[in-house]
Structure 1
Amino acid sequence: MTAQNVGAALEKLVAFTSKIEWDDIPQAVKTRAAFVLADDIGAMVAARAEPELIALQNGVAASAGPPEATLFNAMGTRLDRYSAALANGCASDWAELDEGYRRVICHAGIYCLPALLAEAEAENHTTADLLRALVLGYETVARVARCFTFPNLVLHPHGSLAAVGGAAALCALRRLPEDVTIGAISSAATMVLPGPYTHPIKGSLCRNIWPGISAQTAMRAVDWVGHGIKGLPSALHDVYADAFGAAPDAAELGEGLGEAWAISDGYHKVFACCQYGHATIEANLKLAQQADPNEIESIHLVTHEKARIMDNPDPDTTISGKFSMQHIAATSALNRSGGFEAFSAQVLSDPKVAALRQKVTMSAYDPVPGWPNDRPTRVEWTMKNGRQLTQEVMSARGGPDLPFGPDEIRTKIEGIVAPAYPAMFGILDIILALDTEALNASWRETVAGMTSG
C-alpha cells in the first residue's frame, strides 16, 4: 500500500507541475530561480583550473559529437548536449560553491541545471523556459528528498537524487505529457547511483562526477521513455525505500503544492567546503578578531552529528579537505578565510595547517535544536599561553533563516566569473533583475553573449 501511495503522490505532483506556466510562478520564486542559475553557473566556472577536471573534460571532448552546447570552462569549448551536460555537471560541485536545499540533504540546483543548460541551448529555448523548468525540477527532486529520509548518512545525494532532478527538469522544459513525465522520472529513479558518503570524506574524486553522470543519465531516461522504456509508477518507493532503506512519507510528494516552493528554501555558499562546516568557519572568523590564530595550541569543536562524520585529520585530496572538519577548522583559522583559496591543494599541504589539523578534536553538541538551528557548532580555541576563547554559531549564514543579501551573492558571482568571462556577469545581472527582454531572449544567444570576448 505504501508503494501505491507514493505512486499516487507522484501522479499528483506531476499533474501540478505540468500545468504551471512561467506567469503562474510568484515573483520572489522567479528571482530565487535566477539566483540559483547564476550561482551554479559561477560554481562551474570556479572549477575551470582544477587539473583532474581539465583532464576529464578534455577526454569527454575528444569523443563528443557535433557542438550543440557550451562548456563553461573559459576555453570556448562546445560539445554535443549529452557531453556538455556530463562535463558541466562534473564541474558544478567541484569547487563546493554550488547552491543547496536547506530542508534536507539535496543540491537540487545542480541536479537540474547541467541537463537544462545543454538542452535549452541546443534547442534554443528562452531564458524564461529554462528558469521555469528549473523551478519545477527543483520542486520535484526536493520533494523526493523530503519523501525518503535515511536513518544515517550513508548515501551521498549527488548520486542518489541527481538523475531524478535532471529528468523532472528536462520533462518540464520539453513540456512532455504527464504520463510520459511520470515514466521518465520513474525510469531515472532506477538509474541513480548508490554513491557512498564516505567517498568524499576519504578523498575520492569520483564523488565530483556523480552530478555529471546523472545529468547524462537523466537526458537518456527522458529520451527513451518515448520508446516505451520507462520505470514502474512504484519505482521511487522500490528504489529508495525497498532497496536503499529510506523511510517513506508520501505526503511530502503531493501535499501543499503551490503553497511554498522548495527553491525558496535553498541556501548559497561563500565558503568552498561542505555546508556542515560553515558554522565552524564563521565562528573561527569571529575568534580571529580576538586573537592571533598563529598562537593557537588546539581547537575543539562541539558540533552536530553530520559534521562529526567528517572526521579525517589527514586529507590527501582537495575533496577530502572540503569534507574534513579538522581541515575546515585549521585552514579557516590560520588563513582567516573559507574561500576557494583556503581549500586549494597548496593549502592542503601547508605544514602549519597540517600540524594544526592534528590538534582539532570534536564532541557532540547535545541536544541539537530543531531546524534551522540543526547544524550548530561551538568552537573553542586554546591558545599557547593557556587562554581560552569560545564562539558559538547556531546556524551558518546563507539559508532562508539567515540569507545573504542579493548584493553579497552578486559580488560572489562576479568575483568568480569576471576573470574568465568579462561579459558574463553583466548579462547574468540583467537576468537577476528579471528583465523581460532578457527572459524572452534565446538562451543560445544569451550564452553566446556571456562567453564572448
Structure 2
Amino acid sequence: MPNHLHAFADFLTQTKFDDIPEPAVKRAKLIIADCIAAIVGGSAEAENQALETSIMRHGCARILGGSNFSDAQSASLMNGTAGTALEMDEGHQFARGHPGMHVFPALLAASDTADAPVTGQEFLQSFILGYDIAARIGLATNLNPYMHPHGTWGVIGAASAIGVLNRLDRQKIIELINISSSFSLATSRKTMLEGGTVRNSYTGISNQMAHLAYQILQAGFSGEKDGIGSVFGNIVSSSFDTAAALDALGTRFEVTRNYFKLHACCRYNHAALDALWLLMEQYSELQNPENIAHIDVESYFLAAELTDPKPRNMLAARFSVPFAVATSLINRSSKIQSFTQDMLEKTKILDLAAKISIKENSDMSAQLPDYRPASICITMQDGSTYRASVKTNRGDWRDPYSEAALKEKYNSLTARRWSPAKRNALYTRILNLEHALDLKETFTL
C-alpha cells in the first residue's frame, strides 16, 4: 500500500482535538466563519435561490441563508454552490484551490444528520483534518492545466472529514479515500474565463459526492488500491508528489497557511489590486479616472490569463484583471458592491477596462507558489506615470488581514440575507466553537 494512504489514515484516525495546536484551531474558526459568510452572501443570487427551490427534499440538513432544510446530499450541493458564487471564499495558494469550501458544507450536513449530538471540538477536529488532506493532495498534484481545481481533490478532504466525524477505523478510512478519489469531476478551466456559471456548482457537487462516497462505503462498495495515486498521479494530473503531500504531516496544519479574500474577485486579480490600492491611497490624481490614458499590469502566468475587458457576465468579470482594476478605480472599492451585474452596464467602467492590459512577467511566474507578484503602471493623459508593485497578496499568512477586517467582511456578506442580531449571534458562537456541546444548537438562531 502506498505511503500516502498509510500516513493519511494514521493522521486521520490518531490525531485528536488536543493534538491540534491552538493557532490552528483559532485559524479554523475564522475559516468556518468565512465559509458561512460566503455561503449566505452567495445564497442571495437569483440562480442559487432557484436551485434551492428545485432541490428541496425532506431532511434535517440546513441550507444556510434562509430557513430551509433538506437531505445531506442536497444541502451540501446547495451550500457548496452558493459558497463559490461571489468568489469570496478563502483559499490555499499552495493547493491552488479552496479547501474550506470543499469541506465545510459536507461536514455541516453530516453534523446536522448525525444520530448523536456533535460537539464543537468534534466538528473542529474533523474540519481541520479534512482541510489538511484536501490541501495536501492539492499541493502535491500537478493538475491538468485545462482543468479547474474546483471539484477535483476537494471531495477527498470532505469525505475524510465525514470519516473522522463518524470515527471510522483505519481500514475504513483508507477505503473511503480510495472511493472518493473516483468522484473527482472532469472540470473545465474555460468556464471561469467565459462566465460559465456551471463552474459554481463544481464545489457543491464535490461536497455532495463526499456523502455518496460515505454511503456506498457503508453499503459495502470498495475502491481501487490507491485512488489518490491513480487519479491524481495519472488521470487528472501528470504526477503526484508523495513527499510534498506528507511534508510535516501532523505538525504543520494547512489551515494555518490559508488566505482570506477582501477583493470580491478571483485571487489571481488580487496582486494587481493590492498594487492599485497602494497608488490610490497615495495619489489624489487617481480620483479622476477619466484622465487616465492607459494602465499596464504585469503578473504571473495565471493572472495573465484574465484578459477580457468586456466580460459577458459577473462570473467572467470576477476573472478579468481589466474589469477588476476598472471597477475598483471607478467605485474606489473592490468589495462586493463593485462586482454586481449592473456594473457591467456602466460605460465608465467598460471604457476604462478597454485601456487596461495585462501580460505575463516570467520572473514573477518563477516565484510561484511562494509568492504571487504583480506590478502596475498608470499613465495619465498628460504623460505622468504612477507605479507600484507587490510581491505577495494581502490576506495570506505573511500579510494577514485583521480579525476586525474579516468580521466586517462577514457582516457585509451575511447582511444580504440575515439580520444584524442573527449574524452577530452566530459569529460569536463560531469564535467559541470549541465549547459547543451540540452543533445543531450552535446553528439554531
Normalising TM by the smaller chain, what interval?
Answer: over 0.9
- 2:151 aligned residue: 159
**Residue 254 of structure 1: CA displacement?**
2.8
Which stretch shows the higher mean deviation, 311-320 or 211-220? 311-320
**Contact 1:160-1:195 within 8 A present in 2 as well:** yes
Q: Distance in 1 between matches of 2:441 and 2:421?
A: 13
Q: Unaligned regions of 5+ residues in structure 1, if any? A: none
Instruction: Tell me whether 1:110 sits opposite 2:101 in the alignment.
Output: yes
1:409 to 377, 386, 406: 406
* Counterpart residue type for residue 75 of structure 2: A
Q: Distance in 1 between matches of 2:217 and 2:4?
A: 20
* Counterpart residue type for residue 374 of structure 2: T
Summarize the alignment of residues 182-261 of structure 1 with structure 2, pairs less than 5 Å apart: 182-261=174-253
- 2:360 aligned residue: 364
- 2:111 aligned residue: 120
2:373 to 376, 393, 401: 376
- 1:333 aligned residue: 329
User: 1:31-89 deviations in whole A, cap 9, x for unaligned?
Assistant: 1111111000000011122111111111112xx1x23021112x311112221111101
**Contact 1:122-1:444 within 8 A present in 2 as well:** no
2:309 to 300, 306, 313: 313
Instruction: Tell me whether 1:275 sits opposite 2:267 in the alignment.
Output: yes
Residue 396 of structure 2 aligns to a residue in which SS?
coil
User: 1:108-136 deviations in whole A, cap 9, x for unaligned?
Assistant: 00110111111112223122211111100
**Contact 1:299-1:379 within 8 A present in 2 as well:** yes
Q: Distance in 2 between matches of 1:424 and 1:176?
A: 35
User: 1:190-211 deviations in whole A, cap 9, x for unaligned?
Assistant: 1111211111111100000011
Q: Distance in 2 between matches of 1:284 and 1:199?
A: 27
Q: Distance in 1 between matches of 2:332 and 2:145?
A: 30
Residue 367 of structure 2 aligns to a residue in which SS?
coil
Query: Percent same amino acid at aligned positions?
Result: 27
Q: Distance in 2 between matches of 1:26 and 1:274?
A: 30
* Counterpart residue type for residue 267 of structure 1: Y
Instruction: Tell me whether 1:133 sits opposite 2:129 in the alignment.
Output: no
- 1:298 aligned residue: 294
Q: Distance in 2 between matches of 1:435 and 1:85?
A: 21
1:347 to 338, 343, 354: 343
**Residue 363 of structure 1: CA displacement?**
2.2
User: 1:265-292 deviations in whole A, cap 9, x for unaligned?
Assistant: 0011111111111111122223223122
**Residue 352 of structure 1: CA displacement?**
1.3
Summarize the alignment of residues 84-95 of structure 1 with structure 2, pairs less than 5 Å apart: 84-95=75-86
**Contact 1:373-1:394 within 8 A present in 2 as well:** no
**Residue 227 of structure 1: CA displacement?**
2.2
**Contact 2:299-2:358 within 8 A present in 1 as well:** yes
Instruction: Tell me whether 1:19 sits opposite 2:14 in the alignment.
Output: yes
* Counterpart residue type for residue 145 of structure 1: G
Structure 1 pair 373–142 and aligned structure 2 pair: CA distance change class (3 A) = closer
User: 1:131-153 deviations in whole A, cap 9, x for unaligned?
Assistant: 11110001101111122124x63
**Contact 1:188-1:218 within 8 A present in 2 as well:** yes
- 1:98 aligned residue: 89
Structure 1 pair 72–135 and aligned structure 2 pair: CA distance change class (3 A) = same
Q: Distance in 2 between matches of 1:416 and 1:199?
A: 24
Summarize the alignment of residues 3-18 of structure 1 with structure 2, pairs less than 5 Å apart: 7-18=2-13
Q: Distance in 1 between matches of 2:269 and 2:163?
A: 35
Structure 1 pair 356–139 and aligned structure 2 pair: CA distance change class (3 A) = same
- 1:446 aligned residue: 442
**Contact 2:40-2:64 within 8 A present in 1 as well:** yes
* Counterpart residue type for residue 227 of structure 1: A
Residue 246 of structure 1 aligns to a residue in which SS?
strand
**Contact 1:202-1:320 within 8 A present in 2 as well:** yes
Name the Cα RMSD after superposition. Answer: 1.8
**How many residue pairs are counted as aligned between the two chains?**
437
1:30 to 21, 25, 33: 25
After TM superposition, the runs of 4+ consecutive aligned structure 1 residues lying more than 4 A away are none
**Residue 99 of structure 1: CA displacement?**
0.9
- 1:79 aligned residue: 70
**Residue 176 of structure 1: CA displacement?**
0.9
User: 1:211-243 deviations in whole A, cap 9, x for unaligned?
Assistant: 111111110101111222121132112112211
* Counterpart residue type for residue 51 of structure 1: A
Structure 1 pair 129–421 and aligned structure 2 pair: CA distance change class (3 A) = farther
**Residue 432 of structure 1: CA displacement?**
4.9
User: 1:310-344 deviations in whole A, cap 9, x for unaligned?
Assistant: 22222111110001112112111221111111111
